A and B are shown apart, each in its own frame.
Chain A
Amino acid sequence: MTINTDNQLPIRVYESEVFMKSSTGLIRPGGTELTRRLVEFCGLQAGDRVLDVGCGTGASVACLQQEFGLQVQGIDPSALLLERGRGLYPEITLQQGRGEELPYSNQSWKGILCECSLSLMELEIALQEFYRVLYPGGWLMIADIYWRQPHRQPPGQLFPVGQSCILQGARGREELLQHVQEQGFALRLWQDCSQVLNQMVFDIIMQHGSLTAFWEKVLPANDPHLCQQTAGRGKPGYYLLVAQKK
């Protein structure tokens, strides 16, 4: 397992070799099909400035630049993923940084894309930053994990402290919508896409034999059965959300 220790995050699940072996560098459910759906919903045009926050290796940045002609940049805290992305997609612009502390001036982007990464950020601070750097009328496009039954999810740490996993910061639908709207965004779309999560589970089992075997490889120090049971309690789902800065 590859462990990166920058930014005081000792273990990042998405940096594990299990994900890094993916040929496209894509490490989220749904692939670029959901990315296209988000951009088409917002009606973004060639030349529009879009920032991909938590871009990983930059697969979406490359896709949107090539297929839509958008001016896209990616930002991610993981030096490891950025390095891999620069090798996979030499034509794109990637920068190291966190969603909670974006190094851009106010009102400098027409769209912000945040795919399977918001749950890894401090939600309120990240949403404030997104609001700050978007143009008035700018689009916030999110795809992420959520709990379909959040009342069944036990409070507190899902995984040991210091392990950064997307499930750790997942929330329920109502809580998410409340935060987005309190920040001043107008909600334009909420769509459940949990089928893509099922496909990801299917792919994981085809590749690794079982979810338990997958957890063993990703978080070898933990009890894989406990990880699986705990993660399943709140019924994980996947959503698309589009909101617009007022």
Chain B
Amino acid sequence: MDNESRGRLLCVKCQVSLEAGKVQIAYLSNTFSAELQRCPVCGQVFIPEELALGRMAEVEKTLEDK
């Protein structure tokens, strides 16, 4: 995924703008629904670094504690 000059995100493969949409995230035996940027053509999802290393890591830790 590329960041365009105005902050829009493009799918490298399809060269179309990503759109916000509901995606399913699977973790262990849990499936979560989240709104993320995804390519409307190939369906590839963009997960920002902050989300992966920050909030997703926090979810992982919290669920392991539960």
Listed in ascending order, the chain A residues whose CB lies under 8 Å from chain B are: 195, 198-199, 201-202, 205-206, 209-211, 232, 235-236
Contact = CB atoms under 8 A, between A and B. Distances in A.
B65 A201 contact: no
A206 B57 CA distance: 11
Interface string B21-64: 00000000011111000000000000000000011001100110
A205 B58 contact: yes
Given A198-B32, A202-B34, A232-B65, A209 B59 contact: no
A206 B34 contact: yes
B58 A210 contact: yes
A236 B55 CA distance: 21
B34 A209 contact: no
B55 A209 contact: yes
A198 B34 contact: no
A202 B54 contact: no
A232 to B, nearest CB: 6
Contacts of A202: 30, 32, 34, 59
A201 B63 CA distance: 8
Nearest 4 pairs of A and B residues by beta carbon: A202-B32, A210-B58, A205-B58, A205-B59
Given A232-B65, A232-B66, A235-B66, A198 B30 contact: yes
A195 B63 CA distance: 11
A213 to B, nearest CB: 9
A228 to B, nearest CB: 9
B26 to A, nearest CB: 12
